[in-house]
Amino acid sequence: MFSIHGSAGRMCDTASRRELLTVGGLSLIGLSLPAFLRQRNLHAAPTAGRGAAESVILVYLQGSPSHIDLYDPKPAAPAEIRGEFQPIATRAPGMFLGEVLPLLAGQAQHFSLIRSMSVKPKGLRNHGSAIYMLMTGTDPANFSSTGLAVPPSRDDLPSVGSIVARQRPSVSSGLSYVAVCGPVKEGKEIGVGQSAGILGAAYDPFTMYDDPTQPLKLEAFALPGDMTLDRLQSRVDLRANIDRQRDSAKTAATFDTYYERALGLVQSHRAVQAFRLNEESDAIRDRYGRTRFGQSCLLARRLVEAGTRFVQVTWPARSDDEPVPGPDGSWDTHRNNFPTLREHRCPYYDRTLSGLISDLAERGLLEKTLVVAVGEFGRSPKIGVATTDNVGPGGRDHWPECYSCLIAGGGVRPGQVYGESDRFGAWPKSNPVHPFDLITTIYHALGIDPATEYHDSLNRPRRLVEHGQPVLGLF
């Protein structure tokens, strides 16, 4: 069972008498004075960008692209670090990208870059724990000592999308949290950090992993042949009444939430229409690219246009798959980094993400839609040097110490670079940003208080984000 509470503190710049009297006993409940002051500072922080976003599109690049080769070129570094690609100027003064992203360079007036992302995942430098941290805003407690994933369960903490669905549900019977393109996959485990976990199935994502280059199957929105909407509504009402008579308010609330939303989706023409990609012109579909990833990003645009609050587009290849030719291979370039990026990954990614950003901007949706494109970490600055005993000729290994994130819309000031890496792209030089800070920034943009608490399966209070501050310098 769980409960969600608003913040107990007041949104003001002075401590209440009760707060001050409580400070002396903070250590007794596991909250240190620095943590107390950090939470106070969060409440007292300026409100730049707060609540500017109505929707979020999270473009998750599982497998993690090389930050140096895409977003943070180092032309003055030695050849074994700077690599084969040259920097190119963009539409944003002073911002340079790798030569493999020419279309995004032409859209840089609409987005910003964070070049100082940094994290130390639990265990070894593997994908699993870094993915879980990025997707949930908490350190993994249920991973192996080497950071490998275990099967997802209802004991997991909720994903960012699930928190958004709970705290800011979609209006007008729309979808609150949708996951498209492909599931998050780490090793043999599918769905790491994707579900609502202990919050219950009502806040799980609606998943559509069919190939959107083909007509999508919409049976999920159809009723069985012998069922009418009136009969379904009657069953919902009957079950809710039974639960209330059993004096099980929380169970009833969960049931009502889940089934009322399901009923609303069946009744909602707008939600169903978002999945009909054939209604888009050939020119728009070509603009995004006729790939699984490209059409999934187009679907994301249609979903936020229809009122969906949170859409996650996950790159279709597993995080630790070997890179292969074609549009759907992995970003995990332990070998052959440069030909893989030049010929296969970047042309498709560049077309699609630039198409998404420009399309949102032209439709007037970008101001209210926060777009975040990020992997779970970066790639090693020095080519061919192993950090995980798994790197081949011309490859870059895992590198969580420093990487980049593209962020646009939702109140973010465009055309800026936040943070800086050192001359080798190995460590943040200024303004380090933890993944938890990024998640806090997402909540901030949506107007969700990250200090909000819920109770886990052991009835322990949990914050929406384990720690972190919104990156206010972006707004």
Q: Each residue of 3-23: pLDDT tens digit?
A: 333 333 333 333 433 333 333
Q: Is the pLDDT of residue 136 over 90?
A: yes
**Is 374 in contact with 406 (CB distance < 8 Å)?**
yes
Average pLDDT over residues 404-421: 98
Give domain 53-216+275-439's CATH superfamily.
Answer: Alkaline Phosphatase, subunit A (3.40.720.10)
Q: Is the pLDDT of residue 25 over 50?
A: no
Write down the pLDDT at residue 267: 52
Write down the pLDDT at residue 16: 39
Q: Is pLDDT larger for residue 260 or for residue 421? A: 421
Write down the pLDDT at residue 362: 98
Q: Is pLDDT larger for residue 103 or for residue 226? A: 103
Write down the pLDDT at residue 113: 99
Write down the pLDDT at residue 1: 35
Write down the pLDDT at residue 218: 82
Average pLDDT over residues 69-78: 98
Write down the pLDDT at residue 213: 96
Write down the pLDDT at residue 19: 36
Q: Is pLDDT larger for residue 401 or for residue 24? A: 401
Q: Is the pLDDT of residue 34 over 50?
A: no
Write down the pLDDT at residue 24: 37
Q: What percent of the chain clears pLDDT 70, i.e. is strictly above it?
A: 78
Write down the pLDDT at residue 56: 98
Domain boundaries defined on the chain: 53-216+275-439
Instruction: Label each residue of the chain as H, E or C.
Output: CCCEECCCCCCCCCCCHHHHHHHCCHHHHCCCHHHHHHHHHHHHCCCCCCCCCCEEEEEECCCCCCHHHHCCCCCCCCHHHHCCCCEEECCCCCCEEECCCHHHHCCHHHEEEEEEECCCCCCCCCHHHHHHHHHHCCCCCCCCCCCCCCCCCCCCCCCHHHHHHHHCCCCCCCCCEEEECCCCEECCEECCCCCCHHHCHHHCCEEECCCCCCCCCCHHHCCCCCCCHHHHHHHHHHHHHHHHHCCCHHHHHHHHHHHHHHHHHHHCHHHHHCCCHHHCCHHHHHHHCCCHHHHHHHHHHHHHHCCCCEEEEECCCCCCCCCCCCCCCCCCCCCCHHHHHHHHHHHHHHHHHHHHHHHHHHCCCHHHEEEEEECCCEECCCCCCCCCCCCCCCCCCEECCCEEEEEECCCCCCCCEECEECCCCCCEEECCECHHHHHHHHHHHHCCCCCCEEECCCCCEEECCCCCCCCHHHC
Q: Is pLDDT larger for residue 441 or for residue 458? A: 441
Q: Each residue of 292-314: pLDDT tens digit?
A: 999 999 999 999 999 999 999 99
Average pLDDT over residues 117-144: 86
Write down the pLDDT at residue 27: 39
Tell me how far CA of residue 28 lies from CA of 1, 24, 451, 454, 460, in angstroms: 25, 9, 20, 20, 15
Q: Each residue of 232-289: pLDDT tens digit?
A: 556 555 555 555 555 544 444 455 555 555 555 555 567 789 999 999 999 999 999 9
Q: Each residue of 81-115: pLDDT tens digit?
A: 999 999 999 999 999 999 999 999 999 999 999 99
Average pLDDT over residues 443-460: 90
Write down the pLDDT at residue 155: 86
Is the entire prediction scored with pTM above 0.75?
yes
Average pLDDT taken over every residue of the chain: 84
